[in-house]
């Protein structure tokens, strides 16, 4: 589904529209309907942008009156230190910022050192079941079981309170095939919907790293990397999966460009458009 | 350093303690849960082997373990629970408390919050599902009153060393044997066990299914170029069909380093394994821990001994792709 088709969907004009890019070269996808820019690395600390690139993107957003959301991955101590430097630089430039965290340690960093940055809980921490095999049986499951697959952690009030106590008032969602019911979630917590790439799984044992070296074909581990993830995409097909899986770098996705039927009444107030697989 | 052993029956407590287990973890699934949620677990293990079936059994197991000085931790470590599940969940929690369990192993931050809101006094251990990869995550969960964290599988010895330096006032558990998941457990949204073994494509781990792989070079995103099917890029993507995550993966070589870091527990995976296998696993690790205590501290000698013992116990040589810490090979 193209960016244009997503942006032409019914009800989308009532939502904030954000463009999600991982490299400054992708700014070419920007169109007038977008009021926010998402930028950064969501899945791999090796792809955390350099400070100068982040500052360029931030300046671009600022000049055009776009909101800016920095994307961050799960991180080791090394990645945490890189994010600290990144936030330090972007915040010193006086930018109003959101940051998507997919790591509780990053939330801790934000609250301790960058309290003016608005934290947003990312889709990796919003742990619904997204494996496509579910769709083979979902219509045959007992209603409680189906309800579980269509639910999320926010259906539980203590989870919402937990987030609100930590100044988290937005959570990111994938456009999973089975849909997601938001009717029982706390309306104070806002929800974003990512289209069309749905996150399924991630690893530190990246199969893109070193993939063009025959000597690395059977290597299992966290190996050296030359960002082959930026060069290759792999499609994985198996009859039991109702949609192809896409592997890019250390992440597995599938595509679901079909938006919820009643987008305007869906309780999503922001749509995050991924023009390319976000790696 | 204690050995955290899987447990799924009262009958195996004494055998496992005799083999060297210092603490246990377990789960329970009964018909109450299975009727409502036939393909969803309460504790990351699909229905079938590896669960206690009744709280009476669990209570007996806990009593026996306590008689032998070993605590028992109860797994409530599914990545998320929906609001509709809590009525049943509270029943299990209350009965587990009644059975005398020593801690809950949890992953869902909503459940952590719910337990604390309820004033639950049972200590909380973070499952690997909480994805603690850095020092600030340790601090975050320590601030929530968690007393132990099971660190993720995909960390190197040096990364563990860095984390252990910041683990003041909280215990750390590290995987040592079996089930070296290829994805980050805590972030994986694939659902295992969607059917019985009789339907392999729905039963098997999704990550290890055979896939037809198409590879594309993305220099021009609008015009990707297909790579030949026999390219090394494609062959690499089919790695998980060649390597089985449960072909006796092992991290025993790291025991010397883990001991030096004051890691509190090393975890053996395998609640569903037969007792004999659990005993073998526990004995293998406890033998090496004994070597650490009585040996001369020589790193080289310890590593050699670990590899020799692995070969002797499991009848296979060390293989880099089955090694939790391949940097030590």
List, for residues B191-224, the tens digit of each pLDDT value. 988 888 888 888 888 988 999 999 999 988 889 9
Nearest CB to B233 within list A130, A153, A211: A211
Mean pLDDT for A169-181 is 97
Both B133 and B251 in one domain: the answer is: yes
Residue A1 pLDDT exceeds 80: no
In-domain check, residue B200: no
Give the range of the structural domain holding residue B231, as residue numbers without chain letter. 206-242
| Same-domain status, B141 and B70 | yes
CA–CA distance, B266 with B252 (Å, rounded to integer): 10
pLDDT band at A12 (very low <50, low <70, confident <90, very high): confident
pLDDT band for A7, please (50, 70, 90 cuts): low
Question: Considering only CB atoms, which chain B residues are within 8 Å of A76?
Answer: 133-134, 155, 159, 162
Q: Reply yes or no on whether the pLDDT at A82 is more than 90.
A: yes
Look at A37-41, A245-249, B239-243 and tell me which has the smallest mean pLDDT.
Answer: B239-243
Confirm whether B65 is domain-assigned: yes
Residue B146 domain-assigned (yes or no): yes
For the residues A168-190, what does the mean pLDDT come to? Answer: 95
- Please tell me the predicted confidence (pLDDT) of residue A21: 98
Range B123-145 average pLDDT: 98
Asked if residue B238 and residue B119 are part of one domain, the reply reads: no
Q: Report the pLDDT value the prediction gives residue A2, as an integer from 0 to 100.
A: 63
* Chain A residues lying within 8 Å of B134, measured CB to CB: 75-77, 79-80, 103, 105
How far is residue A223's CA from residue A217's CA, in Å, rounded to a whole number? 12
CB pairs under 8 A between A and B: 250
Residue B210 shares a structural domain with residue B151? no
Over residues B138-152, the mean pLDDT reads 97
Can you tell me the ipTM of this complex?
0.96
> Looking at the predicted structure, is the pLDDT value of residue A268 above 60?
yes
Quick one: B108 and B221 in the same domain? no
Residue B120 burial class via C-beta count within 10 angstroms: exposed 0-12, middle 13-18, buried 19 and up: middle
User: Are B260 and B166 members of one domain?
Assistant: yes
Can you read off the two tokens belonging to residue A3?
């960016």
On whether the pTM is more than 0.90, the answer is yes
- Please list, residue by residue across B240-257, b when 16 or more beta carbons sit within 10 angstroms of its beta carbon and e when fewer do: beebebeebbbbbbbbbb
Q: Are residues B224 and B96 in the same domain?
A: no
Residue A4's pLDDT is 66
Any chain B CB within 8 A of the CB of A231? Answer: yes
- Contact (CB<8Å) A155/B84: yes
What is the total count of domains within chain B?
2
- Specify whether B136 is located in the same domain as B156: yes
Mean pLDDT, chain A, whole residue set: 94
End-of-domain residue from the set B214, B242, B270: B242
User: Residue A266 pLDDT more than 90?
Assistant: no
Report yes or no on B67 lying in a domain: yes
- Long-range contacts made by residues A260-264, C-beta under 8 angstroms, separation at least 24? A260/A175, A260/A179, A260/A193, A262/A11, A263/A9, A263/A10, A263/A11, A263/A12, A263/A14, A263/A15, A264/A10, A264/A11, A264/A14, A264/A15
Of the listed ranges A4-13, B10-19, B127-136, the least confidently predicted one is: A4-13
Residues B227 and B286 in one domain: no
Please tell me the distance from the alpha carbon of residue A12 to that of residue A20, in angstroms, as a whole number: 16
Domains in chain A: ranges and CATH: 3-199+254-273 (3.20.20)
Q: Confirm whether B277 is domain-assigned.
A: yes
Predicted pLDDT of residue B151? 98
Share of chain B above pLDDT 90, in %: 87
Indicate if the pLDDT at residue A126 is higher than 70. yes
Please indicate, yes or no, if residue B106 is contained in any of the structural domains. Answer: yes
Per the DSSP assignment, residues forming a β-bridge with B217 are A232, B225
Return residues 147-176 of A near B (CB < 8 Å). Answer: 147-149, 151-153, 155-159, 161-162
% of chain B exceeding 70 in pLDDT: 100
Could you tell me the two tokens for A105? 């340690």
Q: Give a yes or no: residue B126 inside a domain.
A: yes
pLDDT in tens, B255-305: 999 999 999 999 999 999 999 999 999 999 999 999 999 988 899 999 999
- pLDDT at B81 > cutoff 80: yes
Q: Which of residues 24-53 of A touch B (CB under 8 A)?
A: none
């Amino acid at each position: 589904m193209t960016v244009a088709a997503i942006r032409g969907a019914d009800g989308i004009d009532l939502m904030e529209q954000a463009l999600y890019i991982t490299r400054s070269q992708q700014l070419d996808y920007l169109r007038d309907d977008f009021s926010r820019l998402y930028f950064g690395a969501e899945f791999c600390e090796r792809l955390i942008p350099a400070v100068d690139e982040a500052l360029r993107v931030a300046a671009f957003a600022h000049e055009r009156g776009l909101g800016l959301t920095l994307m961050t991955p799960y991180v080791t101590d090394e990645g945490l230190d890189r994010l600290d430097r990144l936030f330090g630089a972007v915040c010193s430039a006086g930018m109003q910022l959101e940051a998507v965290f997919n790591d509780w340690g990053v939330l801790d960093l934000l609250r301790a050192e960058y309290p003016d940055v608005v934290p947003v809980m990312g889709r990796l921490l919003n742990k619904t079941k997204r494996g496509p095999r579910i769709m083979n049986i979902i219509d045959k499951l007992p209603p409680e079981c189906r309800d579980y697959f269509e639910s999320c952690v926010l259906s539980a009030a203590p989870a919402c309170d937990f987030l609100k106590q930590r100044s988290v008032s937005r959570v990111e969602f994938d456009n999973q095939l089975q849909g997601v019911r938001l009717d029982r979630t706390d309306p104070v917590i806002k929800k974003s919907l990512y289209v069309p790439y749905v996150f399924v799984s991630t690893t530190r044992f990246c199969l893109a790293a070193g993939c063009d070296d025959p000597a690395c074909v059977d290597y299992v581990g966290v190996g050296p990397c030359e960002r082959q993830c930026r060069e290759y995409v792999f499609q994985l097909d198996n009859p039991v999966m109702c949609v192809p899986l896409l592997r890019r770098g250390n992440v597995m996705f599938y595509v679901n460009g079909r938006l919820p039927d009643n987008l305007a009444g869906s309780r999503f107030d922001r749509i995050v458009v991924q023009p390319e697989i976000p790696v | 350093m204690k050995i955290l052993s899987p447990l799924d029956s009262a009958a195996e407590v004494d055998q496992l303690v005799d083999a060297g287990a210092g603490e246990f973890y377990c789960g329970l699934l009964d018909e109450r849960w299975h009727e409502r949620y036939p393909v969803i677990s309460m504790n990351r293990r699909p229905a079938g082997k590896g669960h206690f079936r009744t709280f009476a059994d669990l209570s007996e197991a806990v009593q026996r373990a306590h008689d032998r000085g070993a605590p028992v931790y109860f797994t409530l470590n599914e990545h998320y629970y929906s609001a509709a599940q809590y009525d049943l969940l509270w029943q299990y929690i209350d009965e587990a408390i009644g059975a005398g369990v020593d801690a809950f192993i949890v992953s869902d931050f909503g459940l952590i919050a719910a337990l604390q809101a309820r004033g639950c006094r049972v200590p909380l251990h973070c499952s690997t599902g909480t994805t603690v990869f850095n020092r600030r995550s340790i601090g975050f969960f320590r601030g929530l009153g968690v007393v132990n964290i099971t660190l993720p599988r995909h960390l190197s010895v040096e990364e563990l060393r860095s984390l252990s330096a910041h683990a003041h006032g909280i215990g750390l558990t590290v995987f040592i044997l079996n089930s070296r998941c290829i994805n980050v457990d805590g972030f994986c949204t694939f659902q295992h066990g969607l059917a019985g073994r009789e339907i392999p494509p729905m039963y098997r781990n999704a990550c290890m299914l055979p896939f037809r792989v198409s590879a594309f070079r993305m220099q021009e995103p609008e015009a990707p170029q297909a790579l030949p099917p026999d390219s090394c890029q494609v062959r690499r993507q089919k790695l998980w069909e060649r390597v089985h995550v449960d072909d006796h993966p092992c991290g025993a070589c790291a025991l010397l380093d883990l001991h030096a870091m004051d890691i509190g527990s090393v975890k053996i995976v395998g609640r569903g394994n037969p007792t004999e296998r659990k005993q073998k696993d526990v004995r293998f690790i406890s033998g090496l821990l004994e070597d650490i205590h009585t040996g001369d501290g020589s790193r080289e000698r310890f590593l050699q001994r670990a590899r020799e013992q692995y070969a002797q116990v499991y009848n296979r040589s060390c293989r880099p792709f089955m090694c939790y810490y391949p940097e030590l090979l």
